[in-house]
Amino acid sequence: MKYNNNLLRVLAITVCAASLISSCKPKNAGSAVDAGAAAKAYVPPGKYDQFYNFVSGGFSGQMSVYGLPSGRLLRVIPVFSVDPEKGYGYSEESKPMLNTSHGFVPWDDLHHTELSQTNGEIDGRWVFGNANNTPRVARIDLTTFRTAEIIELPNSAGNHSSPFITENTEYVVAGTRFSVPPDNVNGDVPINTYKQNFKGYISFISVGKEDGKMDLAFQIECPGVNFDLSHAGKGKSHGWFFFSCYNTEQANTLLEVNASQKDKDFIMAVNWKKAEEYLKAGKGRKVAAKYARNRYNEKSHTATSEILNEVTVLDAKELKDICYFMPCPKSPHGCDVDPTGEYIVGSGKLAALIPVFSFDKMQKAIADKAFEGEFEGIPVIKYDAALHGEVKKPGLGPLHTEFDGKGFAYTTFFVSSEVVKWNIKDLAVVDRVPTYYSVGHLCIPGGDTKKPTGQYLIAYNKITKDRYLPTGPELAQSAQLYDISGEKMQLILDFPTIGEPHYAQAAPADLIKNRSVKFFKIDENTNPYVAKGEPEAKVVREGNKVHVYMTSIRSHFAPDNIEGVKLGDEVYFHVTNLEQDWDVPHGFAVKGAANAELLIMPGETQTLKWVPNRTGIFPMYCTDFCSALHQEMQGYVRVSPAGSNVPLTFSIGTNKPAADPVPAAAAPAK
List of residues contacting ligand CUA (CB under 6 A): 552, 586, 622, 624-626, 630, 633
| Residue whose CB is nearest to ligand K7E in the complex, by number | 440
Site size toward ligand K7E, by CB under 6 A: 12
Is residue 154 within a helix (H) or strand (E), and if so which, with residue range?
none
Rounded to whole angstroms, how far apart are CA atoms 554 and 44? Answer: 32
Q: Tell me how many helices (H) and strands (E) the chain has.
A: 8, 45
- Is the separation of the CB atoms in 161 and 137 below 8 Å? no
Q: Applying CB under 6 A, does 511 fall inside the site for ligand K7E?
A: no
Binder to ligand K7E among 234, 432, 441, 547 (CB under 6 A)? 441
What DSSP letter does each residue of 560-620 carry, written as one string?
-EEEEEETT-EEEEEEEE---STT--EEEEETT-SS--EEE-TT-EEEEEE---S-EEEEE
Cβ within 8 Å of residue 658, ≥6 positions away? none
Q: Which is nearer to ligand CUA, 144 or 634 (CB)?
A: 634
Give the x-and-dash track for 549-588 against ligand K7E (CB under 6 A): ----------------------------------------
Q: Which is nearer to ligand K7E, 228 or 597 (CB)?
A: 228
Beta bridge partners of 255: none
Residue 241's SS3 state is: strand
Q: Which of positions 135-164 make contact with ligand K7E (CB under 6 A)?
A: 160
Is residue 367 within a helix (H) or strand (E), and if so which, with residue range?
helix 359-367
| Amino acid, single-letter form, for residue 587 | G
C-alpha 185: how far from its chain's center? Answer: 30
Binder to ligand K7E among 503, 520, 557, 618 (CB under 6 A)? 503
Q: Which is nearer to ligand CUA, 41 or 600 (CB)?
A: 600
Q: Applying CB under 6 A, does 413 fall inside the site for ligand K7E?
A: no
Strand order across the 456-461 sheet: 439-443, 456-461, 478-483, 490-496
Residue 440 contact, options ligand K7E, ligand CUA, none, Cβ 5-8 Å cut-off depending on partner type: ligand K7E
Minimum CB–partner distance for residue 188 and ligand CUA (Å): 54
Beta strand extents in 102-170 (DSSP E only)? 103-104, 113-118, 121-131, 136-141, 146-152, 161-165
Q: Which is nearer to ligand K7E, 229 or 539 (CB)?
A: 229
Q: Which is nearer to ligand CUA, 170 or 624 (CB)?
A: 624
Binder to ligand K7E among 95, 112, 146, 231 (CB under 6 A)? 112
Minimum CB–partner distance for residue 554 and ligand CUA (Å): 6
Q: Which is nearer to ligand K7E, 1 or 475 (CB)?
A: 1
Minimum CB–partner distance for residue 342 and ligand K7E (Å): 23
Residue 1 contact, options ligand K7E, ligand CUA, none, Cβ 5-8 Å cut-off depending on partner type: ligand K7E
Rounded to whole angstroms, how far apart are CA atoms 113 and 66? Answer: 13
Q: Applying CB under 6 A, does 231 fall inside the site for ligand K7E?
A: no
CA distances from 272 to 214, 218, 242, 316, 364 (A): 17, 10, 10, 11, 18
Residue 264 contact, options ligand K7E, ligand CUA, none, Cβ 5-8 Å cut-off depending on partner type: none
Binder to ligand K7E among 1, 353, 429, 476 (CB under 6 A)? 1
Q: Which is nearer to ligand K7E, 139 or 160 (CB)?
A: 160
Residue 624 contact, options ligand K7E, ligand CUA, none, Cβ 5-8 Å cut-off depending on partner type: ligand CUA
Minimum CB–partner distance for residue 349 and ligand K7E (Å): 9
- Cα Rg of the chain, angstroms: 28
Q: Applying CB under 6 A, does 502 fall inside the site for ligand K7E?
A: yes
Q: In 3D, which of 32, 31, 27, 51 has the Cα closest to residue 41?
A: 51
Rounded to whole angstroms, how far apart are CA atoms 489 and 469? Answer: 26
> What b/e sequence results for 515-529 when a residue is b if at least 16 CB atoms lie within 10 Å of its CB, and e otherwise?
eebebbebeebebeb
Beta carbons within 10 angstroms of residue 468's beta carbon = 14
Minimum CB–partner distance for residue 637 and ligand CUA (Å): 17
Q: Which is nearer to ligand CUA, 500 or 624 (CB)?
A: 624
Q: Which is nearer to ligand CUA, 273 or 554 (CB)?
A: 554
Q: Which is nearer to ligand K7E, 500 or 569 (CB)?
A: 500
Residue 29 contact, options ligand CUA, ligand K7E, none, Cβ 5-8 Å cut-off depending on partner type: none
Is residue 517 within a helix (H) or strand (E), and if so which, with residue range?
none
Q: Which is nearer to ligand K7E, 125 or 400 (CB)?
A: 400
Residue 433 contact, options ligand K7E, ligand CUA, none, Cβ 5-8 Å cut-off depending on partner type: none
Q: Applying CB under 6 A, does 399 fall inside the site for ligand K7E?
A: yes
Residue 625 contact, options ligand K7E, ligand CUA, none, Cβ 5-8 Å cut-off depending on partner type: ligand CUA
Q: CA triplet 448, 451, 453: central angle to 5 degrees?
A: 90
Please, what sign has the CA dihedral across residues 195, 231, 504, 422?
Answer: positive
Minimum CB–partner distance for residue 56 and ligand K7E (Å): 8
Q: Which is nearer to ligand K7E, 231 or 293 (CB)?
A: 231
Q: What is the number of alpha carbons within 13 Å of residue 554 lying toward its C-beta?
A: 13
Q: Applying CB under 6 A, does 177 fall inside the site for ligand K7E?
A: no
Beta carbons within 10 angstroms of residue 265's beta carbon = 29
Residue 80 contact, options ligand K7E, ligand CUA, none, Cβ 5-8 Å cut-off depending on partner type: none
Q: Applying CB under 6 A, does 333 fall inside the site for ligand K7E?
A: yes
C-alpha 188: how far from its chain's center? Answer: 31
Residue 246's SS3 state is: strand
Q: Which is nearer to ligand CUA, 577 or 607 (CB)?
A: 577
Beta bridge partners of 294: 150, 305
- Is the separation of the CB atoms in 65 and 74 below 8 Å? yes
Minimum CB–partner distance for residue 574 and ligand CUA (Å): 16
- Is the separation of the CB atoms in 508 and 50 below 8 Å? yes
Residue 159 contact, options ligand K7E, ligand CUA, none, Cβ 5-8 Å cut-off depending on partner type: none
Question: Can you give the binding site for ligand K7E, defined by CB under 6 A?
Answer: 1, 111-112, 160, 229, 333, 399-400, 440-441, 502-503
